[in-house]
Structure 1
Amino acid sequence: MSPLGSEWARVPPEQKREFAERFVVGIPMLAEDILREIQREYPRISANPVDRGEPVALTAIRGALEHFVQQVTSDSDRDRAHPRVFQELGRGQLQHGRSLDSLQGMYRLGVRLAWRRLAEIGQQIHIPAPAMYELAETGFEYLDGLVAQSMLGYAEAAAREAGERLRLQRRLLEVLLGEPARPDSADAVAERAARIGWPLPERVAVAVLLRPARDALAPPVSQDVLLDMESERPRMVVPDPESPGRAELLRRTTAGWSGALGPSVPLAEAATSLRWATVAVGLMERGLLPSGEVLDCSEHTEALVLLPPWELIDALARRRLAPLAECGPTHGRRLAETLLAWLETRGGAPEVAAQLGVHPQTVRYRLRQIRELWGEELADPATRFELEVVLRAQRLRGGFGAEGGGGPEELGPAGPGPLRPGTDGRPQG
């Protein structure tokens, strides 16, 4: 509170002492009147705690009135700090679910009632009006200080509450996403969810995020989404991921982030969704899945199934694609592309040519070579399946090998007939 101006300074000391004595005598009754009026305007204030037999609010009002009049009638600068009880009132607002707006309204009401009494005393002992105007301005400055104290208490309580919620939320995530699941996991999840007021959903999806920057702010997800920003890769548990509008809301709130959202699973299988999201993020970091957004794993099933077992697919590729070793790199790649197109379309030269964007005669030539390289193996459904698996995996990795030398393709005047699966599964010329 800033010191009073020259008009108040001109008030004689004995007049100030009388002003203070008259006001102090009436403080107990004035404090009760102020509290009663506040309770009438704000009925919920009656829920405030009691300390030593009286409401904390009454103690605060009386203390503020005594402190204010002591400051304005004393020449000493000591004890300029506002009563700390107003920090407690700020904390109480948060604990009782009330806003600071209502508290400030109570303070303004109290100051208005107190000023009426101060003005009455000023008139009774003939303090000049200009001096009383200065006193009124100082009163509103004092009010600002009380509000600041309450805001500090409110903020401290909010920080503690948020920290406690984060601690409890981490404990919930530990058991929800832990593997292997404990025998009492369901009970532990229910107990920990209840402590933070998280309604248990039937299904969830778990996302793994990649930070766009070390100091990136947390995505502004809704309250029902559990967000763990403490992990190196932030994790997010999304309840009821298939509910209407949820996907679009997630897309907006995670704008600017990269990551993957695992499949929707029952709550008890949340760790499974996390596992797939982790796999997808690993592929994203290796450049095998697009980044720049939070991908839905269910839309990238082929990549998630074929790319992670890298060593197994490579071993199968060495065995099933061995016939291509006889060809040059470029010609081998073209034959591999053609074989995969034929396996996918199960059509003749025109259908395969349309998929590859080449002439049907070129396809007929390649299919004849494919039949010569693999022979009777192409009649086996299991072999065709394995060939399609390894070729799809190679395509997902970026192609069928590097460009290299290779002989030109030959096109006869008629070329071979199309390679088709016969009624017994064997390719027919």
Structure 2
Amino acid sequence: MSEVREKALAAKQVTSQLAALSTEQKNQALLAMADALIAQQSAIIEANNVDLKRGRENGLTSALLDRLALNEQRILAMAEGLRQVAELPDPIGEVLETSVRPNGMEIRKVRVPIGLIGMIYEARPNVTVDAAGLALKTGNAVLLRGGSSALESNLAIVRVLHEALAKTELPPQALQIIENPDRASVDELLKLNGIVDIVIPRGGQSLIQTVVKNATVPVIETGAGICHTYIDASADPEMAMEIAFNAKVQRPSVCNAMETLLVHESFAKEHLPALAAKFKEANVEMRGCERSRELVSDMLAATEEDYATEYNDYIMNVKVVGNIDEAIAHIARFGTMHSECIVTSDEQNAAKFLQQVDAAAVYHNVSTRFTDGFEFGFGAEIGISTQKLHARGPMGLPALTSTKYIITGNGQIRS
């Protein structure tokens, strides 16, 4: 039996046991996991250094190395995420609807675990902890398949979490990680119908599309982040500069970072050179349209391919537009329905943008960097869904549940 199937079956076997755990039992497990991460952070960092060394040798970009890197502060943040999840209300067993039929039959719609969640992701070891915490809190088993570049980090983290779970009521086999870095392990996971209940991919556009196109198991599509900030004619210059700069530079390697800056032509004439200078100071390479390059002469030329690219790096596109409709049309063409922002003092334009832009998160005068489960108060997230079925946006605890109907009566039969 293959590693993938063996571990999937092991996790599947305990799903009914997980569904019966109390909130207190699950919270105790999460807190034990958090404590273990901190207690054994040196071992995790040591394993992470192996991945980082290999990544440098393989030519990973600085942005990808940043996504891969762990330190004491990031491990503390991972542990804090688990503690916050433990403090959140448990959605399992929540009664969503209740009705009583004329024959006296009572129908209740309640939240229940999904079962076994498959998680496929790339070079961010913190996802290992986020996925484990959210899945286990909602009574789900989880089968992880991380990227090969973070293999040693992920294995070290799961070893630590298993040791912690062994001292709780939550069975350690509910958390599984696939060690085989070969692409065939992904292909097999995507076709474990009847064992894996749902697959969630988290990573770049190539990974996500591979999963969507090849899976026979149901998929929740999380989106690549080609995110835009549109600076309208009436935008406050200082606010616009701070929001755009934060959206790109605060952490360019993540999916909610801005990739394209759209600027109204009147604002661009007055302020684009100063804004461009601010980005240059931060070593951001800018690629622009013809009108933007007339205002900033040393800007590189942007191509159609550039506007359709998620850089995850210190690179961004600039496009000068004539009005809000042109900005919305550009986003509709090149956006990935992830996170989009308008900076404006015009309430009518703000309302138009918020209504017409089709994305999981749409912002008015706020950086796109806030599309994040932690920032939304979810404690953590298992991904940011850009689809429209089941869940959309940062996926916290309720997004990892299904529902079932519980019907009670006193002998009713159907005539």
Query: Given the two structures, how large is their TM-score scaled by the length of structure 1?
Result: 0.25
State the structure with more CA Rg. 1
Higher helix share: 1
- Higher relative strand content: 2
